[in-house]
Amino acid sequence: MKNEAVSSLPLRSLLKRIGLDEREAEVYLTLLSLKRARASDIAKASRQSRSHAYLILRDLQKKGLVSELEEEKILMFIAEPPQRLLSYLEDREQESRELQLLVEGALPLLSSLTAPYIGSPRVTVLKGLEGVKQTYRDILAQQFVGIYNPQTSYDSFGGNIVTRLFGDEVKLRGRDLHVDNDGSKRYIAEVKQHEEYEIRLLPRSVIFNTDTIVFGDSVALFAFDDEKTIVRIENKNLADAFRAWFEMLWGISRETKC
């Protein structure tokens, strides 16, 4: 019969979030409840084959969560104190920082391998909040121009999507054209002043429920349906065409202060 602690779903979910896979979490929790045990006993209690349990225990040893000792020529495994999970997290954070530096160093070389999309556009589709966050992370790294309906953002996310995702201190660098509605008034009242950010209100006859943002050689089209769909087009000619369209609308829009 499985130990009650081992079948605790919240604990297993937590362990998976910090980097253990499902089988590692199962074996680790089993060993915590057994204190110390042979690989065969751990395998039986966690419903793993002995060979799989042994390999998982070795992986947990590498993570610093399990140790071993020999008792009367029998190899026993011991769960390290749960506080070791914090050390494991610190090691992962350090590794992540080191990998980030390596990736940043490799970006020029990686970018040189990809030719600009002057001919056929590259079109990608992202979905959900993670897709929105990923796209906005790219947008906020540079100057942008956008045609935006804040009311849709408030309805879909319960607030301004940019500050909801990145906090109030996010820096905006660009220009936005807003649909003239209550959502825009609320947004303008809430948004912090930025030297490099301007907003104008579109004519009241212009109404839409999607957002279009141009940044670099890319255009992002946001449809706030149930799936939160983002279509991203990478092509310099198309990006320039959308910018020209934006500039035409900018010239007939009403100035405002934010």
Residue 141 CA to residue 170 CA, distance in Å, equals: 10
Q: What is the mean pLDDT of the chain?
A: 85
Q: Does 2 score more than 60 pLDDT? A: no
User: What are the structural domains of the chain?
Assistant: 1-112 (1.10.10.10), 119-255 (3.30.870.10)
Please tell me the least confidently modeled range out of 26-35, 56-65, 190-199. Answer: 190-199
Q: How confident is the model at residue 162 (pLDDT cuts 50, 70, 90)?
A: confident
Structure confidence at residue 80 (pLDDT): 85
pLDDT at 79: 86
| 3-class secondary structure, 115 | coil
pTM of the model: 0.56
Confidence at residue 199, expressed as pLDDT on a 0 to 100 scale:
93
- Note the Cα 23 to chain centre separation in Å: 25
Q: Within 10 A of 117 (CB to CB), how many other CB atoms are there?
A: 18
pLDDT tens for 181-199 read: 998 998 888 876 678 899 9
pLDDT over threshold 60, residue 7: no
Q: What is the pLDDT of residue 5?
A: 43
Which uninterrupted H or E stretch holds 49?
none
